[in-house]
Amino acid sequence: MPNGTYTGLLGILQRREVHVLPRVNYYLAHWNMMDYTIPVWKNSVLGILSEKASSSQSRTHPLTLQDYIVYTFATFCNQGWLPQALEEKSKILELTKRIFSWFLVINLSTHLVSHMTNTNIESSFNDLKSLLNNTKYQVLVTNGSLSFERIKMEAASLFGDYSSRFQFIPSKERMTAKACWSKKKYAIIESDDRQQASGMRSCLLVRTGSPLFSTWTTNGIVKGFKYKRSFDIGIIKLHERGIIDILKDRWTPYKFAYSNDRNTNAIEFYHVQVLFIFIFLAAIASILICIFENIIFSFRRRCKNKKQIISQQRRQKRLHAKRFLFITQTQLRTLKTSAKVGQLFQ
């Protein structure tokens, strides 16, 4: 105030009605009437604006998570379109999803063509029992092999009804040639290491099912041989140095060496004819639907026109009846007037 007094809280402090004012801001003009303590924090003066949306602004429905999932799935399938609100907010995401969808379609198309042009071998049996029960394969076994004695005993005891389907071949070469080049169906029972070491020089032989039995491969030594311990120590050293594993990896993996060279064949029409059949059927279905829709549209339009014509005819009949009635009444009035005039002249 002009006389140097204050109102409000400062006036209360000036009149010594209170001794402490909590939370006051430092102001140099009030230094002569009160002291300040050590600052607690720094305060600032900000301008706060209140913004209200204009009533003329267009109102858009907010997009939900369900809409986002549906449009994302449609984009991945390379179908459909995006709303303008979602497209403006996520242009980079839209472009990325479009590129991903094209890569996905190309990947599926190439895998489809590769699966249609390649054949996979899926055996209908898992063991010797299912082979004999579910198929008509003849079983070939080499004389003197690892499985010879066991198969010969089991063929007589366990598989008595199928004993005629077992054939024991003198040599592995004859067995492989018979299985590869004969028109009948044959299955070979052979030890895994011999099959891996010999390779597949005749034809492609695929391992199927689980092993019939497993045993250790070792060396046979005559009873009472005094150098047996030396052999055992030497084999242990070879295992410790990893030489046995190196020899197994070098000499026993499968060797794909074909004696009959196979030429690469191009993709023919019968490989992809199923795709064109589906496209052709879809085109026929779309044409039939279009024809059916046109027939329904023309039928409804004809019925609508017929109803309009009938209503117009009824309206015209009503107007004609009213007009005829008006003419008849006018003629009657004219006749009555003429009759009265005639009576007067008489």
* Residue 294: predicted pLDDT: 78
Tokens 């052999």 belong to 231
- 100-114, 132-146, 219-233, 325-339: which range is least confident on average? 325-339
Q: Provide the H-helix boundaries in 124-242.
A: 128-134, 148-157, 172-181, 192-198, 228-241
Assign 159 a pLDDT band (cuts: 50, 70, 90).
low
* Residue 39: predicted pLDDT: 59
pLDDT averaged over the chain?
Answer: 69
CA distances from 228 to 170, 220, 241 (A): 33, 10, 20
Cα torsion through 139, 212, 145, 193, rounded to 10: 110
* pLDDT tens, position by position, 253-268: 655 444 444 455 566 6
- C-beta separation of 194 from 172 below 8 A: yes
Region of 4 please: left (phi>0), alpha (psi -120 to 50) or beta.
left
- Burial classification of residue 162, based on how many CB atoms lie within 10 Å of its CB (0-12 exposed, 13-18 middle, 19 or more buried): middle
> How far is the C-alpha of 189 from the C-alpha of 145, rounded, in Å?
9
Assign 117 a pLDDT band (cuts: 50, 70, 90).
low
* Residue 162: predicted pLDDT: 75
Q: How remote is the C-alpha of 170 from its chain's centroid?
A: 54
Assign 325 a pLDDT band (cuts: 50, 70, 90).
low
* pLDDT tens, position by position, 264-312: 556 666 666 777 787 778 778 777 877 887 788 888 888 888 888 888 8
Assign 68 a pLDDT band (cuts: 50, 70, 90).
low
Assign 15 a pLDDT band (cuts: 50, 70, 90).
confident
Q: What percent of the chain lies above the pLDDT cut of 90?
A: 0
- C-beta separation of 165 from 138 below 8 A: yes
* Residue 79: predicted pLDDT: 62
* Residue 235: predicted pLDDT: 86
* Residue 53: predicted pLDDT: 41
* pLDDT tens, position by position, 178-226: 888 888 888 888 777 777 666 655 676 777 777 777 777 777 777 777 8
The three-state secondary structure class of 228 is helix
What percent of the chain is helix, strand and coil (3-state, nearest 5)? 55, 5, 40
* Residue 247: predicted pLDDT: 78
The kind and range of the H/E element at 169 are strand 166-169
- C-beta separation of 250 from 243 below 8 A: no
DSSP letter string over 192-204?
Answer: HHHHHHH--SSS-
> How far is the C-alpha of 48 from the C-alpha of 45, rounded, in Å?
10
Residue type, 170: P
pTM for the predicted model, two decimal places? 0.39
Residue 81, phi then psi, degrees to nearest 5: -145, 170
Tell me how long the chain is: 346
